[in-house]
Every structure is written in C-alpha cells, then in structure tokens.
Amino acid sequence: MPTKLVLGLQHGDEGKGRVVDDLVQNWADVVVRFQGGGNAGHTVYDRKGNKFVTHILPVGVLSKEIINIIARGCVVDIEEFCQEVADLNVQAGSNLSVSGFCPIIEPTHKIIDRLKYQKRLGTTAKGIGPAYSDFYARDSILIKDIVNSPAESLIKIQTKFFNLQEKRAQDGESLEDLKPDFDLFNRWVSNYRKMSETVGLYRLNNENVLQDYYKKDYNILLEGAQGSGLNIYSDNYPDVTSSSPSIGGALNSTGLNHKQIDEVIGVIKSYKTKVGSGSFPSIITDGQEKILAQVGQEFGATTGRPRQCGWLDLDEVKHAVQQNGVDHLCIVKTDVMTHIENPYFFVHGRNYSLTKIKTVSAFDPGFVELLNQIQLQTGINNLSYTTGPKRGEIVWYLNYNQNRNLKE
C-alpha cells in the first residue's frame, strides 16, 4: 500500500518535477496534484524526451497508462486547464480527472491579484490568493457548480466582476484603464459554456477514489507544488503562497490519512533560490550568485522572472524535515555547484565554506562533505541525488523500479 509524497523543502523551484518524473517513469500508478494552481511550473517529458511545462496538470499526464488526479486542494483556472489539455493532447475519459470540489479561479481573482498583490508580494498574478480567499470565505464557485449549474454560476461570476469594475471606477480609474479587463472578461464569457463543458468531461466521478486505489495497492504519488518556505502557515507570512505545500496540505486535499503516507521525499537544491518579495539569510552577494543563476537557468517557469540565489540553508531544510516527517532527501542540481570556486552552505545562522565540488560522485571529497553535512544537520540518512540535468541522471538510494502495479 505505498503512497509517496514529494515536497519541495525550500522556496519552490527545487526541481520536484524532475524527481516526480522519474517516479512516474519507474514507479507510480497514480499521480495527484494536491495544492496550488497555475502558479506552479512543472517540467514533464514525453516518451521521446521532448520537454513540456505543466502548470495545473499533474506530471503524469503524458504517460497514458498513469492515472492523474487534480485533488480538491487545488484552485483551477478553467481557461488554462482547457489550454493545457489541448496542448498536451490529454483526451477526456483517458487518464486525467479533476475533483468537482476544486474552486475555480475566476477572472476577477486574476484582476485583484494583479492590482493588489503582484507588486506588494511579488505574486505570479495567476489569481491564487484571491481564489483561496473566496474559498475560505465560502464564496467559491467549484468545478461541480460550473458543470451542474453553469448559468447560475456565470451570473455569480459576472456579478463579482461588475462589482469590482464599479468599485474601480468609483476609486477613480478611467474607462480606458478598465477596458482591457472588460475585453478579456467578454472573451472569457463567450468561451465559458465550452470551457465548462470541457472541464465537465474530466470531472472525477468518485471523490473517494484514492481510498479505493490505496486498498487495491496502487502506487500513489502525491505531487507537491511550490515549497515549505512558501507555506501559508510558515513564519515567512505574508511572503508566501496561499496554499499549504506540506504533509498537512496533502492530507486535507486527498482524503488520505497520515498512516497511509509511507514515505515523504523532500527535494532540495544544493543551493537555494527564491522569487517574489522578501529576502533570506543565505543570499549570495559576492558575484557567485550570477554563476548559479546562469548555469542553473534560474528563471521562473511560470513568469520568467530571475530567481535570487543563495547557499543551501540547512536550518530551513531541517525545519521542513521536522514539520513534514521527511524520510528521504533528494538533492538536485549539484552539477551546477561544480561551477562554483568557493562554495558554502548555511547553518546555525551563518555561512560555512565547503571543499570545492569537482564532480557529482560518491568519490568526490567536496560532494561527500556536502552529503555529510546534510545528513548531520537534518538527521536524514536516506539521500538520493541527481548527477546532471538529463532525464535518468538520478541516483536513488533505493531502486523504485521493482514493484509497479498497473500494466503498461
């Protein structure tokens, strides 16, 4: 009855997509996205190795034999959903379902995010925060609402939009300022029927299905988005996202219980990156950050924004390990660190120098020192790591390839 949970333990962009992709290829029968929305950007590959980025779809969608579920803790932009299924040719009735209880991201949510939070908090402007606000206020329109009563739902969506536009006009915005949003909204409304019908074709027809899969011994992979440092419940509030990329978030969203999670895999980069507002203690300012950014291609997959770079913060990782009951760490992008002449890591509130890492191998003194420090500071002995950027360049401490259940 194995269920694995993959979480990012830093500030998002750890390379979880990579790790999930490997587990999809070699182990998983079912992949579940459980929080966030189009703010995520996960890299997926088809069988020929072509690269794609998904935002709301789980990483398993390109593998037809894998069951993919978007669970109710996610907020869904139906326009983006329809676009992604079309782009990736994911047919309705094949291997993707979305919970009827997912709140939708309405056009109004995106406008509020852009006007109010994008500058203030550096959000992705995908409407995430305002959509979750409505959810917790119990004002959300859910996927099942637009499927079961599309006309009624549309009236609510329109009312919210017109109320906002009216308020903006009262606050002094000119009609010219408002026009682009009216145009976008009108286009959205003209596609609404088609979009709600399309989404309806993918609707999950059994909300308890994960318990059934669990009983049938399917290998279930819970795919986290973002990372611990962005958890709404973290000390970094308000420089966080509006969901919970944590074991708690996974349980709430999926309806699995804590005893049904067999292994929590935490993904960390061998350095740290962050986009959006707020600094962090291990930020690099001696010029080496530019090398990490360039070699590591540290630009957001969703927004294209440059990421700030810093040394691996083991205080942060240790905290995330404790809070999520992490069993196993997967360390990625150490090959990027081989380009750094004077590497450091950060722990107990300060930087410590590391021996230069020449190659990512168990025989390289710099790499071994890094692994030792990670083990020492976090107490986690099960360490896996990637050796390069390509698919398959990953050394697992266990071989997951052995007990897949579904037939290909």
For ligand IMP, the binding residues (CB under 6 A) are 12-13, 39-41, 121-124, 126, 128-129, 225-226, 230, 241-242, 275-277
**55 in catalytic set:** no
Q: Are 205 and 101 in contact (CB under 8 A)?
A: no
Least Å distance, CB 109 to ligand IMP, is 10
Least Å distance, CB 42 to ligand IMP, is 8
Q: Which is nearer to ligand IMP, 82 or 125 (CB)?
A: 125
Least Å distance, CB 305 to ligand IMP, is 7
Greatest pairwise CA separation for the chain in angstroms: 67
Least Å distance, CB 207 to ligand IMP, is 25
Distance between CA atoms of 194 and 41, rounded to whole angstroms? 25
Q: Which is nearer to ligand IMP, 13 or 77 (CB)?
A: 13
Least Å distance, CB 302 to ligand IMP, is 6
Nearest-5° angle of CA 40, CA 234, CA 18? 30
Q: Which is nearer to ligand IMP, 26 or 277 (CB)?
A: 277
> Hunting for tokens 């050796």 — which residue is that?
387
Q: Which residue is nearest to ligand IMP (CB)?
A: 276
Count of CB atoms within 10 A of residue 217's CB?
Answer: 12
Q: Which of 11, 13, 113, 181 is catalytic?
A: 13
The CB-side HSE value for 268 (13 A sphere, CA atoms) comes to 34
Tokens representing 100?
A: 């009827």
Least Å distance, CB 121 to ligand IMP, is 6
Least Å distance, CB 21 to ligand IMP, is 16
Distance between CA atoms of 196 and 210, rounded to whole angstroms? 24
Q: Which of 21, 22, 29, 42 is catalytic?
A: 42
Distance between CA atoms of 215 and 315, rounded to whole angstroms? 38
Q: Which is nearer to ligand IMP, 18 or 126 (CB)?
A: 126
Q: Which is nearer to ligand IMP, 153 or 242 (CB)?
A: 242
Q: Which is nearer to ligand IMP, 255 or 281 (CB)?
A: 281
**217 in catalytic set:** no
Nearest-5° angle of CA 38, CA 4, CA 213? 90
CA 244 to chain centre: 10
The residues annotated as belonging to the active site are 13, 42
